[in-house]
Amino acid sequence: MTAFILRRLAQSVIVMLTVALVAFALFRFVGDPIASMVGQETTLAERAEIRAALGLDDPFLVQFWNFIARAVTGDFGISYRLQQPVMELILSRLPATLELALVSGILAFVFGVGFGVYTALRRGGWASSTIMTVSLIGVSLPTFLIGVLLIWVFAVELQWLPSFGRGETVYVGDWWRTGLLTESGRASLILPAITLGLYQMTLIMRLVRAEMLEVLRTDYIKFARARGLSNRAVNFGHALKNTLVPVITITGLQMGSIIAFSIITETVFQWPGVGALFINSVRFVDVPVMAAYLMLIALVFVVINLIVDLLYYAVDPRLRVDRANARH
Amino acid sequence: MATPLLSVRDLIVEFPTRRGTLRALDRVSFDIAEGEVLGMVGESGAGKSLTGAAIIGLLEPPGRIASGEIWLRGERIDNLPREKMRRIRGRRIGMVFQDPLTSLNPLYTVAEQLIETIRTHMDVSEKEARKRAVALLDRVGIPAAARRIDDYPHHFSGGMRQRVVIALALAAEPELVIADEPTTALDVSVQAQIIDVLKEICAERGASVLLITHDMGVIAETADRVAVLYAGRLAEIGPVRDVIQNAEHPYTAGLMGSIPTLTQTAERLTQIPGAMPRLNAIPQGCAFNPRCPKVFDRCYRDQPNLIARADGRQVSCWLYDAQVKEVSHG
Amino acid sequence: MSDIIKKPEPGRVARALDSDIAYSFRKSPLAIVAASVSLLIILAAVFAPWIAPHDPFNPATLNLMDGFTPPMEPNQFTGNTYWLGTDNQGRDVFSTILYGARISLFVGFMAVAFAMVLGITLGLIAGYRGGWIDSLLMRVADVQLTFPSILLALLIFGVARGFIPPAYREAMAIWVLIVAIGLSEWVQYARVVRGATMVEKSKEYVQAARVIGAHPAKILIRHILPNVMGPVLVIATIGLALAIIAEATLSFLGVGVPSTQPSLGTLIRIGQGFLFSGDWWILLFPSLTLLALALSVNLLGDWLRDALNPRLR
C-alpha cells in the first residue's frame, strides 16, 4: 500500500515538474521580462543591472529552481494586464469557481447515478428509452451551446433566471465570497450549474448503466437472488455497491473535468471565476496568470487522481490485500 | 408412495428469438424423494442448468416456462407470485453454483453475506445470526471459523470458498439443495472433499439434493438415482448402479463408455460419433437419431416418451416400446 | 522473393469490409440521414464561394443599411430580402454560415489529419521498438487521457500563442489551433496502432522478412495499416466531431480563429450579443448548423463503430 502510494506520488511530482517547466518557459522566454518592467529611457547598463538583480543571468537550472521555490509559496508575480499579484487574483476568484463546480458535480453525480440505475433496472421501458435518447444528444452538444440555449430560453424568453454574473454575494470568513446564501446568488447559479453538469451527468449515467448491467449478469448477483434476498438488497446492496467501484474513479476524474470545463461555462455566463480569468489571460497573453493557472489546474488533477486512488482502496477490499501480498 | 419432495411434470422451457422459439427443455419429468440425491448428467447445453434455474425460479429472460408444473412438497411453485417465490429461494430451496471464485460478492465479508442471508429468512437477532454463521462455517470445514468469518472472499482458496458457498446455500436450512456443477471449477484434489461435505450436511439435515454435473464419477459415488438429459429431453432415469452397469438408452450406454475407470485410463475412451444438435437444429423424431447406433425408421418419425421399466427405471427410446406400456403424460 | 513472404491477399479484407459496411449502412436509416447531413454541409462549405449569394468578407458589397434584416422579410430601408437574415453589419447570415463552416471543417479535418499522422507514427514506434520509448510514450498517453481534450487544446493553444511573437499571432492562429487540437487527440490512434503492431511483430512473416534482409519496419507498416484501418477510421470520425466542437468552443471563447475569418463558433459568439435585442436569427442559424454538423458526424462515428465492431475500448 505504502509502496503504491509512493509510486503514485512520484508520478504526480513528475507531472507537476513537467507542467512547471512549461510554465517557467512561458515566463522566461515569452517577450522580454525586462521590457515589461522598465521604461523606454532605461539604459542598456541599467537593464543589465536589473537583469543580474532578477537572477536572469543565472544558469537555467538555478532559475528553474527559484521559480519552483516561489511557486510553492504561491508567488507567481504580478499580472501584466491587471497589475495585481496573481495569487491574490486567483484566490479572490476561486470561491466562485469552486461553488459552481461543486454544485454541478453534485447535480451530475446524483442525477447520473439515479438515471443510470433506473435505466439499467428498467431496461426497455419508454422512460428509459427517452432518457437514453436525450443523453445521446447531450453528449454531442458542445457545452457552450447548451449554455447559450439555456440563456435564450430561461433568461431571454421566459425571464425566469438571470443570464450572467453571480448575483448578490456575501463574505463567509475573511476572503470567501459566497453566492449560496442569497436568493439572487442561488438563482444565478442554476443555469451555469446545469450547463456545466449536463455533459458529466450523461457520462456518469451511461457509465453507471453499463456497469450495472454488467454486474447484474455476474454469478454473485445470481447467487444473491438464489438465496432469496429481496430485490432491494440485491439491486442496491449488492449490484449498486459493486457498480460504484469504477464509477467512483470516473466521477472523481470528472471533478477535474468540471473544473476545467468551468472555463467555458464561466465565459458564457460571465461568471467571475478562475476560468474566465484564464481565458482573458490567454487572449491578452498575460503570462503570469497563464502560468499560475497551468500549475493550478495540474495540481487539481494530480490531487484528484491521488484521492481517487485512495478511495478505490477504501471501497474495494481486494486491492488492499493484493497490494499487500505483492510486496511479499 | 409418499408425496415426493420435488415433482417436475412435463416441464417445457422456451427461448423466444427473432428466428422462432427455441425449446431448451422439452417435457422433462422427474421426482426427488425426501432425503434423496438425484444426479443429473448431460453434455453442456443439454439443459441441466436450465432445469435447476427453472425449479428455483431464476430463468433468465427471455427464457420462460412455457408449460409444465413444478411441485414442492405438494405445493405448486412454478406459477407463484415473485415475492412468494423469493421467500422460497434460500429458505426452502438452496442453490450452489459452479464457480466459487465468482459466486461471492467481493465487497462483503463472509460474515456479512451469511448474516444477511440468515436474517432475510429467519427472525433472529444479529448476534444469533452470527453465532449460527460461525457454526455453519465450522460445519462445512473452515478452520478457525470464528476468526475467519470476518475475512473477505478473496482471502479464501477456491475450495474454501466453495465451502463458504455451501454454507450460504444451507444457511436457512432448505429442504432441497440444487448443486449446479459444484466441483467443476475446483482443483481435482479438493473436488472429493467438497462433494463429501455437501453430501454429509444434506444427509444430516435430511435435505434432498439435485446434483447437476457432467462428471459421471461424482454421480456414481454420490447420487441415489441419476437422470440423463440429451438436447433438452430426458433420455433415462434410474438408480445409479443400474444405469451405470446396464444402460438402456443408447446415448447413456455411449456416455458410460466414455468414463475412464481405474484400470482403463483416459487414453482410449469410446466416443459417441458426432455432436449434440443445437437447439435450432433438433431433428424430427428422437433427438439422438443422427448419432444412435441402433436407430431404426420409427426414430426418425416419432419423438419417444418416457417408458417405465422394471425397478423404477424409465427410458425414452423406441427400442423398449413394444415391451411395456407407456407412462402417461399429464 | 516475394513468394517467401506470405502476405494476405490484397484487397480481400477491404472488399469484405466494404460489403459489410454497405449492407449495415442500407439497414440504418439514422446512418443514412447522418451521412447525408454531413455530406451536405461539407459540400456546401467546400463550394461556399460559388453557392453563397454574397461575399461576406468583401466590404465593397456590404451595406450597413441592410443590417439586422430578419429572415425572409424585406429590409425596411433597402427592400432586400435574405433567407436567413443579416447581422449587424448587413452581412448575409446564410453566406457567413457557409464560409464559417468552411473554416470549421478545415480546422477539423486538418487537426484530425495531424493527430492521425502523429498518433500512427508514435504508435508504430512504441509498438515496434518497445522498451523505454514505449513506456515513456504510454505514460504520457495515460497522463494525457486524464485531461479532457478540449481543455488540453485550450492550454496548448494558450501556451503556443505565448511563444509566438505578437506580430504573427493573428496570421498563425489557425495553424496553432490545428496543432493544439491535433496534439490533444493523438493518443487513441497511438494506442490502437501500438496494440496491432505488437501483435503483428511476433508473426512469422516479419521474422521471415528479417531473415531475407528486408527492413521489418517497412513490412510491418504495410501489414499493420490495413489491419488498423477500421478502428482508425472510427476514431477519426468521432475525432472530427470532437475537433469541430473544440474549434467552435475555442473560437466562441474568443481565443480561436481570428475575427477576420469567423468560424461557426465565432458566429455564435457574435450572435449571442444580439440575443437580448431580439435579433435571434444571428445566433440561431449558426448554432443549428454547428449542432447538425457535430451531431451527424458523431452519429456517423457511432454507427461506424458498431458496424466495424473493432475493440476500441
Q: Please state, in angstroms and rounded to a whole number, the distance separating the CA atoms of residues B261 and B254.
A: 15
Query: Looking at the domain assignment, is residue A17 inside a domain?
Result: yes
Angle subtended at Cα B41 by Cα B37 and Cα B45, rounded to the nearest 5 degrees: 135
Amino acid at C281: W
Residue B115: band (very low, low, confident or very high) from pLDDT cuts 50, 70, 90: very high
Q: Please state, in angstroms and rounded to a whole number, the distance separating the CA atoms of residues A74 and B18.
A: 66
Chain A residues lying within 8 Å of B97, measured CB to CB: 219, 222-223, 226
Please check whether residues A149 and A291 belong to one and the same domain: no
A150 touches chain C (CB under 8 A): no
- What pLDDT score was predicted for residue A327? 35
C90: left (phi over 0), alpha (psi -120 to 50) or beta: left
Chain B residues lying within 8 Å of A227, measured CB to CB: 89-90, 94-95, 117, 120, 168-169, 171-172
Bridge partners of B67, per DSSP, are B12
Least CB-CB distance to B58: which of A226, A241, A317? A226
Section C144-154 average pLDDT: 79
Residues 176-235 of chain A with CB under 8 A from chain B are 218-220, 222-231, 233
Share of chain A above pLDDT 70, in %: 90
SS (H, E, C) chain B: CCCCCEEEEEEEEEEEECCEEEEEEEEEEEEECCCCEEEEECCCCCCHHHHHHHHHCCCCCCCEEEEEEEEECCEECCCCCHHHHHHHECCCEEEECCCHHHHCCCCCCHHHHHHHHHHHHCCCCHHHHHHHHHHHHHHCCCCCHHHHCCCCHHHCCHHHHHHHHHHHHCCCCCCEEEEECCCCCCCHHHHHHHHHHHHHHHHHHCCEEEEECCCHHHHHHHCCEEEEEECCEEEEEEEHHHHHHCCCCHHHHHHHHCCCCCCCCCCCCCCCCCCCCCHHHCCCCCCCCCCCCCCCHHHHHCCCCCEECHHHCEECCHHHCCCCCECCCC
Chains C and B touch (3+ CB pairs under 8 A): no
Least CB-CB distance to A142: which of C143, C148, C249? C249
- What pLDDT score was predicted for residue C15? 59
- What pLDDT score was predicted for residue B55? 94
- What pLDDT score was predicted for residue A319? 61
Model pLDDT for residues A212-267, shown as the tens digit of each residue: 988 888 889 999 999 989 888 998 888 988 888 778 777 777 777 888 788 889 98
This complex has an ipTM of 0.84
Give the torsion through C-alpha atoms of B220, B222, B226, B230, to 10 deg: -70
Section B210-222 average pLDDT: 88
Whether residue C154 and residue A263 make contact (CB cut-off 8 A), yes or no, is: yes
Domain that holds residue C205: 24-312
**Nearest chain B Cα distance for residue A315, angstroms:** 8
**Nearest chain B Cα distance for residue A222, angstroms:** 8
Q: Please state, in angstroms and rounded to a whole number, the distance separating the CA atoms of residues A100 and A293.
A: 17
Chain A residues lying within 8 Å of B87, measured CB to CB: 228
- What pLDDT score was predicted for residue A38? 59
B61 touches chain A (CB under 8 A): no
Chain A residues lying within 8 Å of B105, measured CB to CB: 220, 224, 238, 242
User: In this structure, what CATH number is given to the domain that contains residue C130?
Assistant: 1.10.3720.10
Please check whether residues A27 and A106 belong to one and the same domain: no
Please check whether residues A12 and A131 belong to one and the same domain: no
Neighbors of chain A with 3 or more C-beta pairs under 8 Å: B, C
Q: Please state, in angstroms and rounded to a whole number, the distance separating the CA atoms of residues B243 and B253.
A: 9
Section C274-300 average pLDDT: 86
**Nearest chain B Cα distance for residue A4, angstroms:** 20
Q: Could you tell me which residues of chain C have a Cβ less than 8 Å from any Cβ in chain A?
A: 143, 146-148, 150-151, 154-155, 157-159, 161-163, 166, 241, 245, 248-249, 252-255, 265, 268, 272, 275-276, 280, 283, 287, 290-291, 294-295, 298-299
The b-or-e profile of B29-64 (16+ CB within 10 A means b, else e) is bbbbbeebbbbbbbbebbbbbbbbbbbbbbbeeebe
- Of C270, C196, C181, C258, the closest CA to residue C227 belongs to C196
- What pLDDT score was predicted for residue A249? 74
Please check whether residues A221 and A294 belong to one and the same domain: no
**Best residue of B93, B107, B154 to probe chain A, by most A CBs closer than 10 Å:** B107
What's the mean per-residue pLDDT of chain A?
82
- What pLDDT score was predicted for residue C243? 92
The label of the residue with cell 537583469 reads: A51
Q: B289-294: long-range contacts (C-beta < 8 A, 24 or more apart)?
A: B291/B251, B291/B254, B292/B250, B292/B251, B293/B250, B293/B254, B294/B250, B294/B319
User: In this structure, what CATH number is given to the domain that contains residue A243?
Assistant: 1.10.3720.10
Residue A177: band (very low, low, confident or very high) from pLDDT cuts 50, 70, 90: confident
Higher-confidence residue: C112 or A39? C112
Whether residue C249 and residue A264 make contact (CB cut-off 8 A), yes or no, is: yes
Please check whether residues A255 and A308 belong to one and the same domain: no
Please check whether residues A304 and A250 belong to one and the same domain: no
Least CB-CB distance to B97: which of A219, A238, A242? A219
Residue A60: band (very low, low, confident or very high) from pLDDT cuts 50, 70, 90: confident
Section B60-68 average pLDDT: 88
Least CB-CB distance to A230: which of B86, B97, B155? B86
Which of the residue ranges A170-174, A290-294, C116-120 would you say has the lowest mean pLDDT?
Answer: A170-174
Q: Could you tell me which chain A residue has the CA closest to the CA of B58?
A: A226
Whether residue C248 and residue A149 make contact (CB cut-off 8 A), yes or no, is: no
Least CB-CB distance to B154: which of A220, A223, A321? A321
Helix (H) or strand (E) run with residue C159 in it: helix C149-163
Q: Please state, in angstroms and rounded to a whole number, the distance separating the CA atoms of residues B152 and A32.
A: 62
Chain B residues lying within 8 Å of A237, measured CB to CB: 116
Cell numbers representing residue A106 in the block: 453534485
Share of chain B above pLDDT 70, in %: 93
Burial class (CB in 10 A: 0-12, 13-18, 19+), C43: exposed
Please check whether residues A102 and A244 belong to one and the same domain: yes
For residue B188, CA distances in Å to A122, A272, B179, B194, C246 come to: 42, 69, 17, 10, 58
The residue out of A272, A293, A313 marking a domain boundary is A272
pLDDT at residue A35 is higher than 80? no
Domain that holds residue A203: 94-272
Chain A residues lying within 8 Å of B84, measured CB to CB: none
For B310, what's the count of Cα atoms within 13 Å in the CB-facing half-sphere? Answer: 5
Neighbors of chain C with 3 or more C-beta pairs under 8 Å: A
Section C289-311 average pLDDT: 81
Q: Which CATH number fits domain B6-261+282-313: 3.30.1050.10, 2.60.40.10, 3.40.50.300, 3.40.50.1100?
A: 3.40.50.300
Section C16-41 average pLDDT: 78
What's the mean per-residue pLDDT of chain B?
86
A279 touches chain C (CB under 8 A): yes
**Best residue of A215, A227, A321 to probe chain B, by most B CBs closer than 10 Å:** A227
Q: Please state, in angstroms and rounded to a whole number, the distance separating the CA atoms of residues C70 and C280.
A: 9
In this structure, how many other beta carbons lie within 10 angstroms of the beta carbon of residue A115?
A: 23
Count how many domains chain C has: 1
Q: What is the pTM of this model?
A: 0.76
Least CB-CB distance to C275: which of A143, A152, A264? A152
Whether residue C155 and residue A294 make contact (CB cut-off 8 A), yes or no, is: yes
Chain C residues lying within 8 Å of A140, measured CB to CB: 241, 291, 294-295, 298-299
A301 touches chain C (CB under 8 A): yes
**Best residue of C143, C152, C161, C305 to probe chain A, by most A CBs closer than 10 Å:** C143
Please check whether residues A156 and A257 belong to one and the same domain: yes
Amino acid at A112: G
Q: Please state, in angstroms and rounded to a whole number, the distance separating the CA atoms of residues A48 and C179.
A: 37
For residue C54, CA distances in Å to B64, C57, C98, C213 come to: 66, 9, 10, 61
- Of C137, C106, C50, C141, the closest CA to residue C262 belongs to C106
Least CB-CB distance to A220: which of B90, B102, B171? B102
Section C23-28 average pLDDT: 74
- What pLDDT score was predicted for residue C5? 47
Model pLDDT for residues C230-243, shown as the tens digit of each residue: 888 888 998 999 99
Residue B76: band (very low, low, confident or very high) from pLDDT cuts 50, 70, 90: very high
**Nearest chain B Cα distance for residue A203, angstroms:** 25
Model pLDDT for residues B21-36, shown as the tens digit of each residue: 888 999 999 999 999 9
- What pLDDT score was predicted for residue B325? 44
Query: Looking at the domain assignment, is residue A228 inside a domain?
Result: yes
Least CB-CB distance to C275: which of A156, A283, A285? A156
pLDDT at residue B327 is higher than 70? no
**Nearest chain A Cα distance for residue B166, angstroms:** 11
Q: Please state, in angstroms and rounded to a whole number, the distance separating the CA atoms of residues A213 and A322.
A: 26
Model pLDDT for residues A111-167, shown as the tens digit of each residue: 999 999 999 888 877 888 888 877 877 777 888 888 888 888 888 888 888 888 887
Please check whether residues A258 and A291 belong to one and the same domain: no
What's the mean per-residue pLDDT of chain C?
80
Q: Could you tell me which chain B residue has the CA closest to the CA of A216?
A: B60
A123 touches chain B (CB under 8 A): no
The b-or-e profile of B100-123 (16+ CB within 10 A means b, else e) is bbbbbbbbbbbbbbbbbbbbbbee
Q: What are phi and psi of A54, to 5 degrees?
A: -80, -5
- What pLDDT score was predicted for residue A323? 39
Q: Please state, in angstroms and rounded to a whole number, the distance separating the CA atoms of residues C39 and C265.
A: 20
Whether residue C268 and residue A148 make contact (CB cut-off 8 A), yes or no, is: yes
Angle subtended at Cα B140 by Cα B135 and Cα B144, rounded to the nearest 5 degrees: 60
Q: Please state, in angstroms and rounded to a whole number, the distance separating the CA atoms of residues A175 and C42.
A: 51
Cell numbers representing residue A187 in the block: 438563482
- What pLDDT score was predicted for residue B218? 87
Section B291-310 average pLDDT: 86
Amino acid at A300: V
Q: Please state, in angstroms and rounded to a whole number, the distance separating the CA atoms of residues B230 and C19.
A: 40
**Best residue of A135, A139, A254, A282 to probe chain C, by most C CBs closer than 10 Å:** A282
pLDDT at residue A4 is higher than 60? yes
**Best residue of C145, C146, C257 to probe chain A, by most A CBs closer than 10 Å:** C146
Count how many domains chain A has: 2
Residue C20: band (very low, low, confident or very high) from pLDDT cuts 50, 70, 90: low
In total, chain B counts a number of residues equal to: 330
Section B187-215 average pLDDT: 89
* End-to-end Cα distance, chain A: 12
Query: Looking at the domain assignment, is residue A88 inside a domain?
Result: no
**B208-212 and B176-180: which strand pairing?**
parallel
Section C10-24 average pLDDT: 60
Amino acid at C297: V
- What pLDDT score was predicted for residue A31? 58
- What pLDDT score was predicted for residue B109? 92
Please check whether residues A246 and A294 belong to one and the same domain: no
Chain B residues lying within 8 Å of A226, measured CB to CB: 56, 58, 89-90, 94-95, 97, 169
**Nearest chain C Cα distance for residue A28, angstroms:** 10
In this structure, how many other beta carbons lie within 10 angstroms of the beta carbon of residue A31?
A: 16
Angle subtended at Cα A150 by Cα A148 and Cα A156, rounded to the nearest 5 degrees: 90
Please check whether residues A146 and A225 belong to one and the same domain: yes
